[in-house]
Amino acid sequence: MNPMLTALARLLIFPGLLFAVPAAWFFLWVERKAVALMQERVGPPFMQPFWDFVKLLGKSTPPRPGIAGFIMRAWPLIAVGSAAGAVGLLPVLPASGGFEGDLILLLALLELPSICIIAAGFSSRSIFGEIGSAREAALSVSYNIVFLLAIVSIAASQRTFRLEALAAMHPTFLTVLGIVAILICLPAKLHINPFSLPNAEQEIYSGPMTEYAGPELAMWELAHGLEWVAATGLVATLIAPHIALAWGTSLLAGFIFVVLSVAVVLLLSVLAAATARLAIDSSVRFYWQCTLIFAVLAISSALFVRFWL
Amino acid sequence: MNLWKRLMCTARRKSPWLFHMNSGSCNGCDIEIIAALSPRYDAEQLGVLLQGSPRHADILVVTGPVTNKAVNAVKTVYDQVCGPKAVVAIGSCPATTNVFIDSRTLDGPLDKHLPVDVYVPGCPPRPDAIIAGVVKAAVLLAERGSDAPKPAIVIAGTAAEEVQP
């Protein structure tokens, strides 16, 4: 098939926008419902994130004149675009294309929404937005070291930066260690408890989102949902080697991908419901002191495997 | 009515986000609002969420008899809520200034300053009544476009409710 067409189909249909947007709403609902069930509540109805999204689209926004207003409106769109691109890069279907080094592009696209959040908080000029952005920035430099080291150690042990090859690898002790490290970083990446500092509701209103309203806020919600899909999808593709090759059919590969993603979402939601928010110094200390040592061990053993064995 | 408008109506009815504004209340009604959002009453199954920022809210939930100090804050926060929006007055204070009537430190009741849509009387009202009032405000929101709010008096959670058709 034409590689251009394949790339477009991946971005727009599966696992791109046509799949990812409903999946984003579904994951947001799973998260809220899991928290509700943990608190012995009924929780929101199934369509709730969809209704929230539609309602926000229909609300008015305060006037934002000038170039500052334009920039402020642009951040959520950039975040949605990069998160959707990250989802589109995931190697779900067999022989889905991809290129050498697409892992690096995926990491960059996964990082872009959080940079957008930092910039949005500062460009909104709200004091709460600025505090939230500063927290997000501090958190980002903490978990990203571990996150990137874990992924690089997996890639180095497999001697490739190509996602498709990583998705088809046989699990080793090193990759399991790397996946655990990625899972530890995901709550911080997705801003859920115990690392929900940037948008800590009871402390700083909504953090960087405080000044956003209506359709702009809807785009932030969508970007957050797409981040969920991309981050859990990355873990799902790394956990299940040969999901496509072993069974041979695309349909089953897609199904296993969805089931694994939902399992990761459930795991993270239960963790979020069971924990309270840590202070910023505890969060930073957790990543720098407790998990960094394992990440360094992982990458050094990966390099050892790569060069000496 | 076309499909998009009907979808929007349903969405507004099913997703009322609150902003809680205290205009000099004794904290009694505020505690009842928190109780209405707590696991026992679980307002989230109706889509109700308490938001930290007035920019995100659809419904402004006001308690207290509007003291002189709070007047400007109430007006500012009302303007910060993006339309379409509704105002719910929780308790007897914002409706009538209650026992503080004729006090020189008050500039109430609330409808002197804002178009109030739903009154939830009580001192304090029960959480069920607060939820009923919020749901009525959400229905009003669904009927209302993004144009200026029309005042429509609704009393929620009282015996009068059963009498009305």
Which CATH number belongs to the domain containing residue B115 in this structure? 3.40.50.12280
A9 falls in which pLDDT band (50, 70, 90)? confident
- Please give, rounded to a whole number of angstroms, the shortest distance from the CA of A199 to a CA of chain B: 10
Average pLDDT over residues A98-124: 87
| Residue A63 burial (C-beta neighbours within 10 Å; 0-12, 13-18, 19+) | exposed
Of B11, B42, B83, the CB nearest to A55: B11
Least confident of A189-203, A210-224, B48-62: A189-203
Q: Tell me, what's the pLDDT at B162? A: 41
B165 falls in which pLDDT band (50, 70, 90)? very low
Q: Tell me, what's the pLDDT at B148? A: 45
Q: Tell me, what's the pLDDT at A249? A: 63
Q: Do B39 and A40 touch (CB under 8 A)?
A: yes
> Could you report the per-residue pLDDT of B51-78, keeping only the tens digit for each?
888 889 999 999 999 999 999 999 999 9
Taking all residues of chain A, what is their mean pLDDT, rounded to a whole number? 83
Q: Tell me, what's the pLDDT at A150? A: 85
Average pLDDT over residues A3-18: 77
Measured from the Cβ of residue B5, the count of other Cβ atoms closer than 10 Å reads: 11
User: How far is residue A194's CA from residue B98's CA, in Å, rounded to a whole number?
Assistant: 43
Taking all residues of chain B, what is their mean pLDDT, rounded to a whole number? 84
Interface of chain B toward chain A, CB-CB under 8 angstroms: 7-8, 10-12, 14-15, 17, 39, 42, 44-45, 47, 51-53, 55-56, 58, 80, 82-84, 146
At residue A32, does pLDDT exceed 80? Answer: yes
Please report where in the chains the tokens 């029309």 appear, as a residue.
B150
Average pLDDT over residues B121-125: 91
At residue A170, does pLDDT exceed 80? Answer: no
Least confident of A66-80, A83-97, B64-78: A83-97
Residues on chain B touching A42 (C-beta within 8 angstroms): 42, 44-45
Any domain includes B29: yes
Average pLDDT over residues B139-156: 62
* Nearest alpha carbon to residue B161 among B123, B121, B124: B121
Sequence-distant (6+) residues with CB within 8 A of B18 are B48, B49, B50, B51, B57, B58, B59, B60, B61, B134
- Burial track A259-280 (b if 16+ CB lie within 10 A, e otherwise): ebbbebbbebbebbbeeebbeb
* Top-confidence residue, A154 or A246: A154
Q: Do A36 and B52 touch (CB under 8 A)?
A: no
Report percent pLDDT > 70 for chain B.
Answer: 87
| Residue B163 burial (C-beta neighbours within 10 Å; 0-12, 13-18, 19+) | exposed
Q: Is A48 on the interface with B (CB under 8 A)?
A: yes
Average pLDDT over residues B6-32: 90
Q: Tell me, what's the pLDDT at B164? A: 41
Sequence-distant (6+) residues with CB within 8 A of A92 are A14, A15, A233, A237, A244, A253, A254, A257
Any domain includes B76: yes
Q: DSSP 3-state assignment of B17?
A: strand
Any domain includes B64: yes
At residue A226, does pLDDT exceed 70? Answer: yes
Cα dihedral A206, A212, A218, A219 sign: negative
Alpha helices in chain A (DSSP H): 3-12, 17-38, 48-57, 66-89, 102-123, 127-158, 163-167, 173-189, 201-204, 214-239, 250-274, 280-285, 292-308
Provide the residue range defining the domain that includes B87.
14-144
- Please give, rounded to a whole number of angstroms, the shortest distance from the CA of A21 to a CA of chain B: 17
> Is ipTM over 0.90?
no
* Top-confidence residue, A291 or A138: A138
User: How far is residue A51's CA from residue B146's CA, in Å, rounded to a whole number?
Assistant: 17
Q: Tell me, what's the pLDDT at B134? A: 92
Chain-centroid distance of CA B121 in Å reads 11
Overall number of domains in chain B:
1
Residues on chain A touching B14 (C-beta within 8 angstroms): 45, 47-48, 51, 55
Name the range with the highest mean pLDDT among A84-93, A125-134, A156-165, A252-261. Answer: A125-134
Q: Is the pTM here over 0.90, yes or no?
A: no
Any domain includes B49: yes
Any domain includes B57: yes
Name the range with the highest mean pLDDT among A7-16, B6-15, B145-154. Answer: B6-15
Q: Tell me, what's the pLDDT at B151? A: 47
Give residue A160's region: left, alpha or beta (phi > 0; psi -120 to 50): beta
> Could you report the per-residue pLDDT of A38-63, keeping only the tens digit for each?
888 888 999 999 999 999 998 888 88
Least confident of A61-75, A287-301, B54-68, B97-111: A287-301
- Please give, rounded to a whole number of angstroms, the shortest distance from the CA of B130 to a CA of chain A: 18
Average pLDDT over residues A160-181: 77
Any domain includes B7: no
Any domain includes B150: no
Any domain includes B61: yes
